[in-house]
Chain A
Amino acid sequence: MAATLLQTADWLFVIDNLGLLLGGTAVTIALTVASIFLGFVVGFPAGAIEVYGSERASRLVEQVGVVLRGTPLLVIIMILYFGLSVSSSAFVTATIALGLRSAAYQSQIFRGALQSVDDGQLEAARAVAMSRFEAIRHVVVPQALRRSVPGFQNEFTIVLKDTSIAIVIGIGELLTTGQNLYEGGQSTAALEIFLAVSLVYFVLTFATNRSLDRLSDYYAVPEGTT
């Protein structure tokens, strides 16, 4: 195996095709950003409904979440693409699949964060004559968002790596690009290609987590009793 790793020609092949891999990386990033965004736009209100909504609404949201979280992503993608044909675009379909699945998880991150804010905060906001909505928006949500960063970092990492599952519907994301390279003839470079692909995933994950740490530090407020 050690010998295989030292195949200079195979590494040169990877370097020669770096442009293609970077193109795949761009698609991966786009798919991740779109999915996380959709997941946030749907997941945040879903989490809020679970905490503040009527009993019926919160039960409905919870049940949809249970189904989404209980279905393998690969199955969700296949149902949406081959079963329901929600879009002729594989990219759009993958975004919806990853986004909805992420929404189901993000809703739980935000639900927990909202519930962790002391009830006295909401009560004090109501006592200065804010409506329930204003109190939640100006007092509870800003605190909950700060507390949801660690959970969100996890979710981001998962979505980023799970974009690779979109390979099954033929999107030219990072893993697909790597796979095509190796199937295109230079089969001895398989290990080098997939190592390079892994490195890209790692760098993206690491860089984003660090950025979110920075963001979290920037908005941090001293902790303690209020």
Chain B
Amino acid sequence: MTQPLLSIDDLHKSYGSEEVLEGVGLEMDQGDVTVLIGPSGSGKSTLLRCVNRLTEINSGQIALDGQDVTGANTDVNELRKQVGMVFQDFNLFAHLTALENVTLGPKKVLGMDAADAEEAGRTHLEQVGLLEQADSYPAELSGGQKQRVGIARALAMDPELLLFDEPTSALDPELVGEVVEVMRDLAAEGITMLVVSHEMDFARSAASDIVFLDDGEIVEHGPPEQLFQNPTAERTEQFLSRLHAHEETA
């Protein structure tokens, strides 16, 4: 691997006088599954959204496959073809069926003809276990099903990198498992994923790297076994023990 798939360097982002990211650096190789953890307000989601430019950065560099992401000459729509996103609140297109949600991007953006897009769309719905719900509208699906359609919609664009912004936090606890299972399958298939999540189950079993972010800085970065068993920073340790306490009471 000569160059990383994603490389982020000295990223700064402020909202007004509030600095959310204070010089963040991160690299991901193809096939990596990196999970971002950290307290609420630590900048995790902002970092994620900078990668597909739903949020614009103030300074620093982001490169995808060696291509500058944030430059003025970068075609943001070309970039987003390479970077899929799964949202906390699903944001499925309300007026379209599950299948139409999945095929809209390929048809309108990639220029696929309807029949090919549908065939591919059914494959992606099958991949997330929802082929039978192809003709259901979002409002007719459970939260877990919606999120799985959201994943299929992102996959349908055949991106190089998938971003997950707290994909399970809006779900009822009993629906988390089905979404985690799909994400784990994707990780096993070698899909590169950058995931903001506190789903420890997923982080332990599927992540190649864990990044602990606090106050806009990366405090600690390492493989899951190291970071979870032997965190070097005190802040990481405190955060993890709070998380464990919460998991046990939940």
Q: Mark A122-164, 1 if CB is under 8 A from B, else 0.
A: 0111111111001000110011001000000000000000000
Residues of B contacting A3 in the complex (Cβ-Cβ under 8 angstroms): none
> Smallest Cβ distance from A219 to chain B, in angstroms?
9
For residue B193, CB closer than 8 A to chain A, the reply is no
Candidates A121, A127, A138, A226; contact of B85 at CB < 8 Å: A127
The main secondary structure of chain A at its interface with chain B is helix
Residues of B contacting A223 in the complex (Cβ-Cβ under 8 angstroms): 139
Q: Are A126 and B80 in touch, CB under 8 angstroms? A: yes
Q: Are A143 and B108 in touch, CB under 8 angstroms? A: no
From A125, A129, A138, residue with most partner B Cβ within 10 Å: A129
Residues of A in contact, count (CB < 8 Å): 24
From B108, B137, B140, residue with most partner A Cβ within 10 Å: B108
Give A35 to B223 CA distance when docked, in angstroms: 67
For residue B157, CB closer than 8 A to chain A, the reply is yes
Q: Are A225 and B93 in touch, CB under 8 angstroms? A: no
Give A120 to B77 CA distance when docked, in angstroms: 17
Residues of B in contact, count (CB < 8 Å): 28
Q: Are B87 and A120 in touch, CB under 8 angstroms? A: yes
Q: Are B91 and A120 in touch, CB under 8 angstroms? A: yes
Q: Mark B104-122, 1 if CB is under 8 A from A, else 0.
A: 1100110000000000000
For residue A222, CB closer than 8 A to chain B, the reply is yes
Q: Are A130 and B105 in touch, CB under 8 angstroms? A: yes
Residues of A contacting B124 in the complex (Cβ-Cβ under 8 angstroms): none
Given A221-B137, A222-B139, the answer on whether A124 and B84 have CB atoms closer than 8 Å is no
Residues of A contacting B77 in the complex (Cβ-Cβ under 8 angstroms): 129-131
Q: Mark A55-94, 1 if CB is under 8 A from B, else 0.
A: 0000000000000000000000000000000000000000
Q: Mark A88-112, 1 if CB is under 8 A from B, else 0.
A: 0000000000000000000000000
Give A127 to B85 CA distance when docked, in angstroms: 6
Residues of B contacting A118 in the complex (Cβ-Cβ under 8 angstroms): 91
Residues of A contacting B81 in the complex (Cβ-Cβ under 8 angstroms): 129
Q: Mark B121-147, 1 if CB is under 8 A from A, else 0.
A: 000000000000000011110000010
Residue of A whose beta carbon sits closest to that of B102? A128
- Of residues 29 to 57 in B, which have CB atoms within 8 Å of A's CB atoms? 52, 54
Residues of A contacting B85 in the complex (Cβ-Cβ under 8 angstroms): 124, 127
Residue of A whose beta carbon sits closest to that of B52? A127
Q: Are A226 and B54 in touch, CB under 8 angstroms? A: no
Q: Are A226 and B138 in touch, CB under 8 angstroms? A: yes
Given A128-B80, A129-B157, A130-B108, the answer on whether A222 and B140 have CB atoms closer than 8 Å is yes
19 contacts between A and B (CB under 8 A): A120-B91, A121-B93, A121-B94, A123-B87, A124-B87, A127-B84, A128-B84, A128-B105, A130-B105, A131-B77, A134-B108, A138-B104, A139-B95, A143-B95, A221-B139, A222-B138, A222-B140, A226-B92, A226-B94
16 new A-B contacts at CB < 8 Å, known A221-B94, A225-B89: A118-B91, A123-B87, A124-B153, A125-B93, A127-B84, A127-B154, A128-B84, A128-B157, A129-B80, A142-B95, A143-B95, A221-B95, A223-B139, A225-B138, A226-B90, A226-B94
Residues of B within 8 A of A (CB): 52, 54, 77-78, 80-81, 84-85, 87, 89-95, 104-105, 108-109, 137-140, 146, 153-154, 157
Residues of A within 8 A of B (CB): 118, 120-121, 123-131, 134, 138-139, 142-143, 146, 221-226
